[in-house]
Amino acid sequence: MVVFMLERLSDSVALIDTEALGERAVVAAYLVSGKENALIDMGYRSSAGIVIRDLEAHGITGLDYLMPTHVHLDHCGSCGTLAKRYPEASVLVHPRGQPHVHDPQRLVEGAKELFGERLMERYGLPDPVEANRLCSVADDEAFQLGAGVVLRSVWTSGHAPHHLSYLHEGDGTLFTGDAVGVCHPAFPALMPTTPPPSFNFEKAIETLDRLNTSSVKRFCTPHFGALDTVHEFIQQNLAALRDWNARLAEYSSKGVKVEQIVEMVLKDACKQIGRPIMDVPEYLRIMTRASVLGFKGYHEWKGAQATSQKNI
**Amino acid of residue 11:** D
Q: Closest Cα to residue 179, out of 163, 166, 195?
A: 163
Domain coordinates of the chain in residue numbers?
6-239, 240-306
pLDDT digits over 222-260, tens only? Answer: 999 999 999 999 999 999 999 999 999 999 889 999 999
Residue 1 is predicted with a pLDDT of: 40
CATH code for the structural domain at 6-239: 3.60.15.10
Region 101-109 average pLDDT: 97
Residue 303 is predicted with a pLDDT of: 83
pLDDT digits over 208-221, tens only? Answer: 999 999 999 999 99
pLDDT digits over 61-72, tens only? Answer: 999 999 999 999
Q: Closest Cα to residue 66, out of 42, 85, 49, 50?
A: 42
Residue 310 is predicted with a pLDDT of: 66
pLDDT band at 312 (very low <50, low <70, confident <90, very high): low
Mind giving me the DSSP string for 126-178? PPP--GGGEEE--TT-EEEEETTEEEEEEE--SS-TT-EEEEETTTTEEE-GG
pLDDT band at 162 (very low <50, low <70, confident <90, very high): very high
- pTM recorded for the entire structure: 0.96
pLDDT digits over 39-61, tens only? Answer: 999 999 999 999 999 999 989 99
> CA-CA distance, 272 to 290, in Å (whole number)?
21
